[in-house]
Amino acid sequence: MKRPAKYLIFPIMLILLLTTTSCKKNVKPATLNIPYSCDITIKSDDEGSDAYKASLSRKENSWLITYTEPDSISGMTITFSNDRYKIKLGDLEFDAKRDELPDSALSTMIISALDKTTLSTNVKYKTNEGQTIASGTVGDKDYELSFKDDIPQSLKISGYTVTFSKFKS
């Protein structure tokens, strides 16, 4: 009786292996058609912190982020174009090379995560409850960006959660 059981182990293991590998789904990466625009709400994971609100637009070679809340920075714009950025608030204006802005700047992390997720091959994808979840790193920060039907829903990065709304492409 031991001998026939020995011959059955290999075919059973082969069937199990083929079954488990055939069940694995390839997750299609999210795509964002450029140009697009949306509103964003940025909330720190720290309890009691203020939320920041802004509009974000992406064109072929540029980004524009315009903050609307809180009042202290309402109207502040950050423009990234090619290799330059410009920050403007009222009469104050500052511009420099894009690589002079630290990777840890929140606006940089948001646009870098969006670009990296849709333009890079160094991103991992999975699905969860009908959403595509992309994960990777921006600088030295890990992020997780969720999409539904190729529309960004939320981004978790470096102690912040960014929620996307009113997406238009």
Average pLDDT, consecutive stretches of 10 residues, N- to C-terminus, the chain (169 residues): 53 48 61 93 92 96 95 95 92 90 85 87 90 92 94 95 97
- Report whether 54 contacts 68 (CB < 8 A): yes
Q: What is the pLDDT of residue 31?
A: 84
Q: Which CATH architecture has domain 36-168?
A: Clam (2.50)
CA 137 – CA 141 distance, rounded (Å): 5
Q: Measure the CA–CA gap between 28 and 88, rounded to whole angstroms.
A: 38
Residue 3 is predicted with a pLDDT of 56
Q: Please give the pLDDT value at position 19.
A: 45
pLDDT in tens, 86-132: 999 999 999 999 888 777 789 989 999 999 988 877 899 999 999 99
Query: 80 in helix, strand or coil?
Result: strand
Domain residue extents for the chain: 36-168
Alpha carbon distance 40, 19 (integer Å): 43
Neighbours of 4 (CB within 10 A): 7
